[in-house]
Amino acid sequence: MKGMLLVRLIGGLVLLMVLWALAPFGTVPAGYRGVMTTFGSPSTQVLSEGIHFRIPLAQKLNLVNVSIQKGEGDGDAASRDLQTVHTRVALNYHVRPEGAVTVFRDLGNEPGQRIIISAVQEAVKAVTARFTAEELIAKRTDVRDQIVAQLRERLARHGIMVDEFSIVNFNFSRSFNDAIEAKTTAEQLKLKAERDLQRIEVEAKQRVAQARAEAESLAVQRQQVTPELIRLREMENQRMAIEKWDGKLPTVAGGGAVPFINVK
C-alpha cells in the first residue's frame, strides 16, 4: 500500500515537471525584457512585459533585467605625479530595453561581470593619470565628469546606460596625507600673518589720521587766538575772581598797612 502511494507521488511529480516543460507560454515580469531562444539560438525580437507563447521543448523564454542596478568597487591607480591612489566608486546603471538581445547574446546576460567592472576600472585609471594627487582632491567634480563620459561612451555600445556615478572616496599614502596636512597648516599660518599685517597697517593709518586731525585742530585754534580774545579771557578771569572775593582784606604783618590801596 505504501509502495503504491510512493509510486503515485513520484508519478505526479514527473507529470507536473512534464507539464511545466511543455507549457506553451512564458511570462515576462515588470522590470525585465524577454529574449526567446529556439534550440539555443536567440531571436532578434525583444519581448515586453506580459505573457508570450512559446513552442514547448523547442523554445525557451530568457529574462533580461532592465531595471536600475547598483554596483560598488575599489581599485588602485596612479596620479600624474605618481602617487598611489586607492579609489572607491559607486555606479548606477540599467540595460536599455531595446538592447536586451545584445546583452543576452554578447554578454551572456551578465553585464556586471562581463563589461561593467573592467570598464569602470579602466576609466578610473585613465582619468586619474591626468591629474596630480592634489588636483584629484581639488577638482573632484571634473574627475568624476570625465570618468562618466568615458563610461557612457564605452557601455552604450553594449546597450547599457549610466544613470549615476559617484566617487565615494580617494585614499592616498600616509606620507602624502602628512604632506598635505603640513601644507594646509602652513597656508593657514600664512593667511593669519597676512590678516594680522593688514590689521596693523589699518591701525597705523588710523593713528596717523587721528594725529593729523588733532594737529589741524590745534592749528585752527592758534589761528583763532587774537589780542582781543586774550583781553576778553583776562576780563573774564578778573570777574570770576571778584565774584569769589568775600570782601575781607588780607592781614599783612609788619607795618599794618594795606599795600595795594593808595588813598590820597
What is the longest distance spanned by two Cα atoms in the chain? 173
Task: Please give the span between the terminal C-alpha atoms of the chain, in angstroms, as a whole number.
Answer: 173
Least confident segment among 10-14, 32-36, 167-171, 181-185: 181-185
DSSP 58-110: TEEEEEEE-S-EEEEEEEEEE-TT--EEEEEEEEEEEE-GGGHHHHHHHSTT-
Q: Are 259 and 253 in contact (CB under 8 A)?
A: no
Spatial separation of the C-alpha atoms in residues 84 and 133, rounded to whole Å = 8
12: nearest Cα among 20, 60, 26: 20
Asked if the model's pLDDT at residue 19 lies above 90, the reply is no
User: Which is more confident, 6 or 145?
Assistant: 145
The residues that bridge with 62 in the sheet, in sequence order, are 35
163-173 residue pLDDT tens = 999 999 888 87
227-240 residue pLDDT tens = 766 777 777 777 77
Give CA separation, 151 vs 91, 92, 227, 251, in Å. 10, 12, 95, 116
Query: Residue 230: which H helix or E strand, with range?
Result: helix 227-244
Task: Go through the chain and tell me how many residues it has.
Answer: 264
78: nearest Cα among 127, 24, 38: 127
Q: Are 93 and 115 in contact (CB under 8 A)?
A: no
Give the best-scoring range by mean pLDDT among 107-121, 201-215, 234-248: 107-121
Q: Are 169 and 129 in contact (CB under 8 A)?
A: no
Least confident segment among 88-92, 124-128, 153-157, 226-230: 226-230
Give CA separation, 95 vs 63, 102, 105, 155, 179, in Å. 12, 10, 13, 10, 44
28-80 residue pLDDT tens = 999 999 999 999 999 999 999 999 998 888 899 999 999 999 988 888 888 99
139-176 residue pLDDT tens = 999 999 999 999 999 999 999 999 999 999 888 877 77
Interaxial angle between packed helices 140-156 and 117-128, expressed in degrees from 0 to 180 and rounded to the nearest 10: 140
Query: Residue 245: which H helix or E strand, with range?
Result: none
